[in-house]
Amino acid sequence: VNGEVFMHPLETRDVSAASIIRECSTNGNGVHTDDGVGVWLDTPMIELKGGEGTIEKRIPAMMRMFGKYGIDIRKEPILVYPTLHYQNGGLDIKADGMTEVENLYVAGEAVGGIHGRNRLMGNSLLDVIVFGRNAGKNASEKSKSVDVADLTLSHVDSFEAEIKDAGIETEVVSPKLLPDYTRKVNNK
């Protein structure tokens, strides 16, 4: 909010998340939006420090993703929120890549416990490639002996009933890929 740097940009994920949370709640310096309280990530500074083309070279997928919404992250900072992205963990897996749920195999960032709480940037390749290959091979083999039941969407109805029973009323759509930058952004 105040244009002040409040953490080193190369901190570990847990320190980054804690810093953002502290800035938004304890220090009261967050940007208040309909989607919650966040902070500005100074993406144009990446281009200033690294030279023109740095974002396109280093994080092209992010540039394209925001570009679809008319946001040029080379020229505009973006709002970030402390979310599950900053937490490592996920589903516990067995050596073959299967979760505790029979016949459910996972790989990538959905897997928990491979790197501990401070996975370094880029190490998700291990999750994707090594464990993805392992889970894929084992899921393929397992599929040969599984009888598939009738497919239904009853789990959606069960989830809606759980929400209703818990007294939760929400209009929030999930998953949310990007915050809506065009709605009522209030700086506090």
Catalytic residue positions, numbered: 13
C-alpha distances in angstroms, 119 versus 16, 58, 92, 108, 146?
12, 19, 16, 12, 35
Pairwise CA distance, residues 24 & 1, whole Å: 10
Q: Measure CA 109 to chain center.
A: 9
C-alpha distances in angstroms, 81 versus 23, 115, 150, 154?
11, 23, 40, 33
For residue 142, give the DSSP letter. H
Please give the radius of gyration of the chain, using alpha carbons only, rounded to the nearest integer: 20
Q: What HEC string does 84-139 produce?
A: HHHCCCCECCCCCCECCCCCCECCHHHECCCCCCCCCCCCHHHHHHHHHHHHHHHH
